[in-house]
Structure 1
Amino acid sequence: MRYNLAELNVGRLVAPTDDPRVKDFMDNLDLINGLGKRMPGFVWMMEGSGEPGTGNTDAKIGDDPLHVSNLTVWRDVESLEKFVWGTVHKKFYERRQEWFEVLGEMHFVMWWVPEGHEPTLAEALERLELRRKNGDSDDAFGWDYLKQAKMHRTHACAPAA
């Protein structure tokens, strides 16, 4: 059986999506997501019913409209790394503290999914909780757990939001 790499990143915006404090983020969200979808190795992205520039309405967590998520699937580690740190995405990643609160807990997880599987947000949140409780494992992990991941060692930003 072949596997793809799923990733979930959650955050809480510092302001509503129409607030000037998150304008740069919201104005470029479709651009960055579109770039990701065109990258070699991109497989799938959770998408919702939001109007362009309003974010993914199905990616909101719980009843808090400021608590949002990004859930994607990639062919392999190298494809995801190239998108995260080898494209303009990195410039937005470096500015995340302008737009997102510091959560005070782990907010990112990756795991392997069977080829063709599109994880649900509920499934992804379970993986995140597993990583929060147990640390890195074969079932839920971060970049350091992946021996084949190299770009994050030299390109990753200091921890923040």
Structure 2
Amino acid sequence: MRDHHIAELNVARLKHDINDPRIADFVNNLNRVNAAAERTPGFVWRLKDDTGNSVAMAVANDPMVIPNLSVWQSVEALESFVFRTVHKRFYDRRSEWFEVMDRMHFVMWPVPAGHQPTLEEAWQRLDYLNTNGSSDHAFGWDHVATASLWRSARCSGSAA
């Protein structure tokens, strides 16, 4: 599948305003975690604005919902970053900063190599997953037979 990569969208709803001191540890480490992603083997691209991140980009007209959209060479490369780097330390603390969402908040899908998906495209894939369930068009970790690290991280369908 050299002519395709894997795109992923992960959205989270903040418990507090992005400038609230209770979110500071998350905000103060965004550049660190994003830099780790960009150094990870298999990383291709991530959505970012002039500040170097995407937290100010509106999702679903809700300023408390923040997106993370990126492209990876493979699911395995993404899985390794999420669960085997500094990212895992912040993933384990997600309940401090984010609300539990009532729908899936994470989706992956194949994209042609070189394609940089838009936030609108990614949101449509997430909506498709929530409406139709996992398929090759839009899927979560549970759709990938070789993905196993998410199971030990107790990843679930909610944003807990």
TM-score, normalised to structure 1, is 0.91
- Residue 12 of structure 2 contacts residue 159 of structure 2 at CA under 8 Å; is this kept in 1? no
Aligned residue among 138, 141, 147 for 1:140: 138
Residues 116-140 of structure 1 deviation map (CA, whole Å, 9 limit, x = unaligned): 0000000000000000000000100
**TM-aligned CA deviation for residue 37 of structure 1:** 0.6
Taking only the aligned residue pairs, the percentage that are identical comes to 49
Partner of 1:24: 25
Structure 2 unmatched runs, 5+: none
Aligned counterparts, 1:65-76, within 5 A:
65-76=63-74
Please state whether the residue corresponding to 1:4 is helix, strand or coil: strand
Structure 1 unmatched runs, 5+: none
Partner of 1:130: 128
Query: In the alignment, does 2:50 pair up with 1:49?
Result: yes
Q: Matches of 2:61 and 2:124 in 1, distance apart?
A: 17
Count of matched residue positions in the alignment of Structure 1 and Structure 2: 158
Aligned counterparts, 1:1-161, within 5 A:
2-50=3-51, 55-57=53-55, 59-157=57-155, 160-161=159-160
**TM-aligned CA deviation for residue 147 of structure 1:** 1.4
- Residue 131 of structure 1 contacts residue 140 of structure 1 at CA under 8 Å; is this kept in 2? yes
Q: Matches of 1:160 and 1:126 in 2, distance apart?
A: 18
Residues 100-155 of structure 1 deviation map (CA, whole Å, 9 limit, x = unaligned): 11111111100000000000000000000000000000100000101121322334
The one-letter amino acid of 2:42's match is G
TM-score, normalised to structure 2, is 0.91
